[in-house]
Amino acid sequence: MSKPIQIYLDYNSTTPCDPRVVDAMLPYFYDIPGNAASRSHPFGWQAEEAVDYGREQIANLLAVDSKEIIFTSGATESDNLALKGAFEMYARKGNHIITLTTEHKAVLDSCKKIEKMGGEVTYLDVEEDGLVDLAKLEAAIKPNTIMISIMWANNETGVIQPMKAIGDLCAKHGILFMTDATQAVGKIKTHPKELGIHLMAFTSHKMYGPKGVGALFVNRKNPRVKVTSQLDGGGHERGMRSGTLNVPGIVGFGKAAEIAMQEMEQDAARLRVLRDKLESAFKDQIEEVYVNGNVDHRMPHVTNISFKHVEGEGLMMTFNQNIAVSSGSACTSASLEPSYVLIALGLGDDLAVSSIRFSLGRFTTEEEIDKAIELISTGVNHMRDLSPIWEMYKEGVDLDAVVWTEH
Ligand SMILES: *Cc1c(COP(=O)(O)O)cnc(C)c1O
């Protein structure tokens, strides 16, 4: 029996751990078992050395000082620490934060909590292409604004925000610039200091490192930024994040950063070609295909596509034994909830629930893309052949004018 085809095009959900990363990590489970905080014996020193080296590798990728890297358990924790920690630390300066409606839940839900803690949050809408309007952003700044939190690249659409312009705006108004850069770090150049970013959250498992380890960049000079620790304990990580460090995880994260530094440009160039091939094939071969989000300011390995009148979750079922992707809807308890990110781009519910996110990565091959084009095109045609709505559309019925009866 031959192995079923399994094509992974869901790299924005998580990336496989690069085998070179796994190799670097292995000694730190058994041979070198120390706690990096044990200062009195060689086991601890070796672990500390490994952590220092990992921190250095990550700092190099970002062109920052290694003292500016705070290790966490992942980007969710880094987002929480940056937002709640800065809210607490800068309470005397003000209590207002500006963010976008298209942010990751780790940011949005941290902001919700901050509102409960007495903060004020502006959730700014994006334009139809997913980009923030800088004039609207500036107009939202108030005397009590302490921070703008805007993600570097969106996880669903890959849309890249104008980071330099936002950094300039924050500098002009003397407020902090925090970014969730999880989908950008290790894929494109992310040097926070060149762009006036003060806090930057990211995670290892979206850049070919292991799961369960992340980091927060905290700018240390001009201005010296601090965040209030959200975990009480041993005072690790310059007092900003207590807890025994995940030594093998940090070693792997560091190795992943080093590899990214060497290879991300070639990876991006290769994946852009494959992504564009996938996208053109769908546009050429299938009717009523829409690419969501700004296509010029977008990560090179991501495309978010709506196949009109084909419900994404159903479409996925036609090929999910063979291809892994994500759909633009989440199955909540009873209903199909369209993605709030796509709704914020102004898509109607129908287009939002008919979207699929394709995210390619380091191990994606051209054969896989060719196979994906074939299987997915077949799936779309199959779904449309069975669809009364598609039939009505083909017959020229104005679907917007149809009154659907509830039942
Ligand atoms: C994956 C992701 C996160 C969460 O990261 P974890 O390390 O899994 O906690 C946060 N923000 C964005 C944009 C992400 O894509």
Q: Do 255 and 358 share a domain, yes or no?
A: no
Q: How far apart are CA 220 and CA 299, in angstroms?
A: 29
Reported as a single tens digit per residue, the pLDDT across 58-74 is 999 999 999 999 999 99
Q: Do 284 and 315 share a domain, yes or no?
A: yes
CATH number at residue 68: 3.40.640.10
Q: Do 251 and 329 share a domain, yes or no?
A: no
Q: Is residue 405 part of a domain?
A: no
Confidence bin at 337 (pLDDT 50/70/90)? confident
pLDDT at residue 398 in the model:
84
Q: Do 99 and 202 share a domain, yes or no?
A: yes
Q: Which atom of ligand 1 lies closest to the CA of 214? A: 7
Cα distances (Å, whole numbers) of residue 24 to 3, 18, 20, 249, 374: 30, 10, 6, 10, 38
Split into its structural domains, the chain has a count of 2
Q: Do 278 and 247 share a domain, yes or no?
A: no
Q: Is residue 404 part of a domain?
A: no
CATH number at residue 371: 3.90.1150.10
Cα distances (Å, whole numbers) of residue 337 to 232, 310, 345, 349, 358: 37, 15, 15, 9, 19
Probe target for ligand 1 pocket from 76, 81, 357, with the most ligand atoms within 8 Å of CB: 76
pLDDT at residue 207 in the model:
98
Angle between helices 247-285 and 366-385 (to 10 degrees): 50
Range of the domain at 37: 19-259
Reported as a single tens digit per residue, the pLDDT across 273-287 is 999 999 999 999 999
Domain ends where: 259, 285, 304? Answer: 259
Q: Do 312 and 234 share a domain, yes or no?
A: no
When pLDDT is averaged across residues 383-395 and rounded to a whole number, the result is 91
3 state SS of 288: coil
pLDDT at residue 41 in the model:
96
| Pocket of ligand 1 contains residue 151 by CB under 6 Å | yes
Q: Which atom of ligand 1 lies closest to the CA of 12? A: 15
Confidence bin at 399 (pLDDT 50/70/90)? confident
Contact assessment for residue 234 and residue 221, using Cβ atoms and an 8 Å cutoff: no
Q: Do 186 and 272 share a domain, yes or no?
A: no
Confidence bin at 331 (pLDDT 50/70/90)? low
Q: Is residue 2 part of a domain?
A: no
pLDDT at residue 336 in the model:
75
Tokens linked to 360: 């390619």
Q: Kindly write down the DSSP assignment for every residue of 20-34, as one continuous string.
A: HHHHHHGGGTTTS--
Domain ends where: 259, 282, 313? Answer: 259
Domain ends where: 259, 289, 316? Answer: 259
Q: Is residue 1 part of a domain?
A: no
| Pocket of ligand 1 contains residue 15 by CB under 6 Å | no
3 state SS of 331: strand
When pLDDT is averaged across residues 16-30 and rounded to a whole number, the result is 98
Mean pLDDT of the chain: 95
Q: Which atom of ligand 1 lies closest to the CA of 153? A: 13
Q: Do 172 and 26 share a domain, yes or no?
A: yes
Confidence bin at 402 (pLDDT 50/70/90)? confident
pTM above 0.85, yes or no: yes
